[in-house]
């Protein structure tokens, strides 16, 4: 039998739904779900609005069915446990990100790489996501939230935060190395903070001199205006970058940084773009450089991100919006007007 506590009242709850790929998000009443074996129910307190939610709402992820409730930057409290769940209790504060569960059987899962499982479950696509007052998720997807973080602070760290933190800590860069963060948006503003906190000589790259003071506030040691000159030359003038973390979706701008990499330097792509990179084999051979992508992380990586944020003081810069105003929050994010992460709150 499932144990429950402090659940949403009655047998229904509010959830944001998208009825088809062209439809706007609307608030609806939906049935309250019970967790099955191996799953938990979470009373959602906050959910970040991520650009990838647009892909889910458009039905571009395999297995998506309508109506869709997006949301994969979830933070709240467990209010019910399904059969067989161990290690978690009703009332525990938890977060769930892009990794919303996996098969547990394949080679990727068995080697700790569940985020690359062929049967990866992404909240919003595999099951109703966090734009709601309640969500049911596999227990394997849970990350513990430290008491020092509010749910609104924790939510964007469960996707945007873990993506950049995990990419940096698994890169070739070591404390003291030069690391450049390409872009100062939802991912990039966190990337600069994490890079500084991890002991890297941090370079922020964005468009326009007006973003220099912002880069400095975030902790960058240097700021490069990509409209003012050759970015690669500027990076080489700083000794060459060990890592360029590309957080934007502009493939041309990513390509422009390759010649700015130092010896065995790496261009690490976390910003999704359908466009092709313009990189020649000769550019890569000149210094044995690498270009590769990094996607998010599993639940333990999210938990590590949250703990490191507490110790280092890294925080997402957020705008909190009530769940009822989800459509406006999504529009603000999609138009690039968010500064820097929109977070839906339920008042729970």
Q: Could you tell me where in the chain the CATH 3.40.50.720 domains are found?
A: 171-293
Task: Give residue-wise pLDDT tens across range 156-200.
Answer: 999 999 999 999 999 999 999 999 999 999 999 999 999 999 999
What per-residue confidence (pLDDT) applies to 8?
A: 52
Task: Give residue-wise pLDDT tens across range 251-305.
Answer: 999 999 999 999 999 999 999 888 999 999 999 999 999 999 999 999 999 999 9
Q: What percent of the chain has pLDDT over 70?
A: 97
What per-residue confidence (pLDDT) applies to 348?
A: 85
pTM higher than the cut 0.85: yes
- Other residues' Cβ atoms within 10 Å of the Cβ of residue 72: 29
Task: Give residue-wise pLDDT tens across range 95-112.
Answer: 999 999 999 999 999 999
What per-residue confidence (pLDDT) applies to 310?
A: 98
3-state helix, strand, coil split of the chain in percent (to 5) is 30, 25, 45
d(CA 28, CA 132): 9
DSSP 127: B
Sign of the CA dihedral with 25 first, then 119, 187, and 166 last: positive
**Domain 171-293 annotated CATH 3.30.565.10:** no
pLDDT-derived band of residue 1, with 50, 70 and 90 as boundaries? very low
Say which CATH topology domain 3-159+298-345 has.
Quinone Oxidoreductase; Chain A, domain 1 (3.90.180)
For 43, list phi and psi in degrees, rounded to 5: -80, 110
DSSP 239: T
Give SS3 for 333.
Answer: helix
Q: Could you tell me where in the chain the CATH 3.90.180.10 domains are found?
A: 3-159+298-345
């Amino acid at each position: 039998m499932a144990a429950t506590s402090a659940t949403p009242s009655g047998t229904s709850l509010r959830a944001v739904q998208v009825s088809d790929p062209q439809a706007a998000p609307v608030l609806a009443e939906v049935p309250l779900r019970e967790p099955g074996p191996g799953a938990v129910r979470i009373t959602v307190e906050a959910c970040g609005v991520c650009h990838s939610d647009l892909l889910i709402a458009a039905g571009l992820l395999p297995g998506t069915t309508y109506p869709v409730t997006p949301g994969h930057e979830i933070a709240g409290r467990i209010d019910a446990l399904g059969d067989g769940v161990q290690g978690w209790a009703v009332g525990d504060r938890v977060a769930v990100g892009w990794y919303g569960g996996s098969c547990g059987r394949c080679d990727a899962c068995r080697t700790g790489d569940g985020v690359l499982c062929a049967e990866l479950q992404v909240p919003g696509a595999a099951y109703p996501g966090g734009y709601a007052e309640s969500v049911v998720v596999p227990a394997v997807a849970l990350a513990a939230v430290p008491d020092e973080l509010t749910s609104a602070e924790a939510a964007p760290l469960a996707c945007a935060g873990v993506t950049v933190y995990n990419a940096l800590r698994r890169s070739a860069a070591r404390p003291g190395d030069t690391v450049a963060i390409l872009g100062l948006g939802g991912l990039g503003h966190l990337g600069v903070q994490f890079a500084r906190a991890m002991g890297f000589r941090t370079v922020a790259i964005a468009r326009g001199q007006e973003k220099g003071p912002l880069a400095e506030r975030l902790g960058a040691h240097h700021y490069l205006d990509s409209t003012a000159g050759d970015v690669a030359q500027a990076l080489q003038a700083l000794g060459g970058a060990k890592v360029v973390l590309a957080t934007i979706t502009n493939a041309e701008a990513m390509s422009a940084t390759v010649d700015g990499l130092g010896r065995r330097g790496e261009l690490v792509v976390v910003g999704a773009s359908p466009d092709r990179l313009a990189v020649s084999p000769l550019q890569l051979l000149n210094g044995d450089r690498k270009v590769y992508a990094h996607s998010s992380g599993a639940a333990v990586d999210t938990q590590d991100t949250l703990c490191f944020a507490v110790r280092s003081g890294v925080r997402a810069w957020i705008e909190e919006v009530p769940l009822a105003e989800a459509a406006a929050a999504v529009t603000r994010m999609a138009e690039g007007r968010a500064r820097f992460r929109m977070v839906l709150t339920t008042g729970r």
